[in-house]
Structure 1
Amino acid sequence: MLVRIGLLMEGGHPYATGEAGLWCERLVHGLGQHQFDLYALGPTSMPLPPNARTVRTGDVSGPGVGTAPGSRIERAAFGDDRASRRAYGRRERRRFTEAFHALATGLCAEHDEGSFATGLYALADLARERGGLPGALRSDDAVRALETACRAPGARRTAAAAGLPDHLAFADHLERALRPLSLDWYEEEALGAVDLCHATAGGTTALPGLLAKRFFGTPLLVTEYGVQLRAHYLSPAVARHSAPLRALLAALHGRLAAETYGQAALLTPGNAHARRWQEKCGADRARIRTVHPGLAADRFAEVGEDEESGDPATLVWVGRVEPAKDLVALLHAFADLRARQPDVRLRIVAVPNGEPCADAYLTHCKGFAAQLFPDEAPVAHAVGENPVTFEELGGPEAPTLEDAYASAAVVVLSSVVEGFPTSLVEAMFCARATVSTDVGAVVEVIGGTGLVVPPRNPRALADACLALLRDPERRHRLGAAARARALELFTVDQNLAAFRGIYLELLSHAPVRHRPGDGVPFAHPAEAHVPGSWTHQAVTAGTGAPDA
Structure 2
Amino acid sequence: MRIGLLTEGGYPYATGESRLWCDRLVRGLAQHEFDIYALSRSARQEARGRVRLPPQVRSVRTAPLWAPEDDGRTYGRRERRRFTEHFGELAGAICVPGGGPDGGPGEGPGGEPDGRGAGDRFADGLYGLAELAAERGGLPTALRSETAVRTLEAACRAPGTHRAAHAAKVSDHLEAVGLLERALRPLSLDWYDAQSLGAVDLCHAASGGSAALPGLLAKNFFGVPLLVTEYGVQLRAHYLAAGGTARSMPVRTLLAAFHGRLAAEVYARAALITPGNTHVRRWQERCGADRAKLRTVHPGMESGRFAAVGEGGDGGDPRTLVWVGRVEPAKDLVSLLHAFAEVRKEEPQARLRIVHSRHGQGGEAAAYLAHCRALAAQLFPDEATDAHAVGDNPVSFEDIGGPEAADLADAYAAGSVVVLSSVVEGFPVSLVEAMFCGRATVSTDVGAVVEVIGGTGLVVPPRNPRALADACVALLRDPRRRERLGAAARARALELFTVEQNIEAFRGIYLELISHCPVRREALGTDGGPLLFANPAEEHVPGRWAGDGAGGPGGGTPGPRWAEGIGAARPVGAGAGAGPGERDV
CA spacing shift, 1:161–1:230, aligned 2, 3 Å: same
Q: 2:36 matched to which residue of 1?
A: 38
Q: 2:18 matched to which residue of 1?
A: 20
Q: Deviations over 1:253-289 (max 9, x none)?
A: 1111000000000000000110010000000000110
1:412 to 413, 419, 433: 419
How far apart, CA to CA, are the structure 2 residues paired with 1:4 and 1:437?
Answer: 42
Q: 1:88 matched to which residue of 2?
A: 75
| 1:414 shift after superposition | 0.7
2:250 to 244, 249, 260: 244
In the superposition, the TM-score normalised over structure 2's length comes to 0.82
Q: 2:183 matched to which residue of 1?
A: 177
Q: Determine if contact 1:19/1:226 at 8 Å carries over to the other structure.
A: no
1:64-463 map, 5 Å: 64-66=68-70, 87-110=74-97, 111=108, 112-235=118-241, 238=244, 240-351=246-357, 352-376=359-383, 386-463=393-470
Amino acid at match of 2:18: A
Matched position secondary structure for 1:439 = coil
Amino acid at match of 1:181: L
CA spacing shift, 1:512–1:65, aligned 2, 3 Å: closer
Q: Determine if contact 1:41/1:59 at 8 Å carries over to the other structure.
A: yes
Q: 1:472 matched to which residue of 2?
A: 479
Q: Deviations over 1:501-520 (max 9, x none)?
A: 000000001224359799x9
Amino acid at match of 2:55: P
How far apart, CA to CA, are the structure 2 residues paired with 1:385 and 1:313?
Answer: 12
Q: 1:57 matched to which residue of 2?
A: 62
| 1:318 shift after superposition | 1.0
- Greater shift, 466-475 or 226-235, is seen at 226-235
How far apart, CA to CA, are the structure 2 residues paired with 1:232 and 1:462?
Answer: 35
How far apart, CA to CA, are the structure 2 residues paired with 1:527 and 1:429?
Answer: 43
CA spacing shift, 1:164–1:389, aligned 2, 3 Å: farther
Q: Determine if contact 2:12/2:38 at 8 Å carries over to the other structure.
A: no
| 1:447 shift after superposition | 0.3
CA spacing shift, 1:529–1:318, aligned 2, 3 Å: closer
CA spacing shift, 1:172–1:384, aligned 2, 3 Å: same
| 1:13 shift after superposition | 5.6
Amino acid at match of 2:158: A
Amino acid at match of 1:178: L
Q: Deviations over 1:463-489 (max 9, x none)?
A: 111110111110111000000000000
How far apart, CA to CA, are the structure 2 residues paired with 1:529 and 1:243?
Answer: 54
Q: Runs of 4 or more off by more than 6 Å in structure 1?
A: 515-518, 527-530
Matched position secondary structure for 1:114 = helix
| 1:353 shift after superposition | 2.9
The answer to whether the aligner puts 1:511 opposite 2:509 as a matched pair is: no
1:493 to 500, 525, 536: 500
How far apart, CA to CA, are the structure 1 residues paired with 2:257 and 2:427?
Answer: 25
CA RMSD in angstroms comes to 2.6
| 1:529 shift after superposition | 10
| 1:242 shift after superposition | 2.3
Q: Determine if contact 1:375/1:385 at 8 Å carries over to the other structure.
A: no
CA spacing shift, 1:138–1:23, aligned 2, 3 Å: same
How far apart, CA to CA, are the structure 2 residues paired with 1:156 and 1:100?
Answer: 18
How far apart, CA to CA, are the structure 1 residues paired with 2:432 and 2:56?
Answer: 30
Q: Deviations over 1:290-318 (max 9, x none)?
A: 00011011111000012224111111111
What is the number of residues matched between the two proteins?
Answer: 505
In the superposition, the TM-score normalised over structure 1's length comes to 0.87
Matched position secondary structure for 1:45 = coil
How far apart, CA to CA, are the structure 2 residues paired with 1:483 and 1:14?
Answer: 31
Q: Deviations over 1:81-140 (max 9, x none)?
A: xx8xx6222211121111111111000012325211111111111111123513221212
How far apart, CA to CA, are the structure 1 residues paired with 2:342 and 2:418?
Answer: 17
Q: Deviations over 1:171-214 (max 9, x none)?
A: 22211111100111101100000000000000011000000000
CA spacing shift, 1:529–1:91, aligned 2, 3 Å: closer
CA spacing shift, 1:496–1:252, aligned 2, 3 Å: same
How far apart, CA to CA, are the structure 1 residues paired with 2:360 and 2:341?
Answer: 26
- Greater shift, 130-139 or 151-160, is seen at 130-139
Q: Determine if contact 1:314/1:345 at 8 Å carries over to the other structure.
A: yes
How far apart, CA to CA, are the structure 1 residues paired with 2:417 and 2:139?
Answer: 55
Amino acid at match of 2:376: A
How far apart, CA to CA, are the structure 2 residues paired with 1:353 and 1:391?
Answer: 16
Q: Determine if contact 1:10/1:17 at 8 Å carries over to the other structure.
A: no
1:10 to 4, 8, 11: 8
Q: Determine if contact 1:15/1:21 at 8 Å carries over to the other structure.
A: yes
Percent identity for Structure 1 against Structure 2 = 68
Matched position secondary structure for 1:347 = strand
Amino acid at match of 1:21: R
- Greater shift, 289-298 or 10-19, is seen at 10-19
CA spacing shift, 1:252–1:54, aligned 2, 3 Å: same
Amino acid at match of 1:454: P
CA spacing shift, 1:16–1:229, aligned 2, 3 Å: farther
Q: 1:538 matched to which residue of 2?
A: none
CA spacing shift, 1:269–1:13, aligned 2, 3 Å: closer
Matched position secondary structure for 1:235 = helix
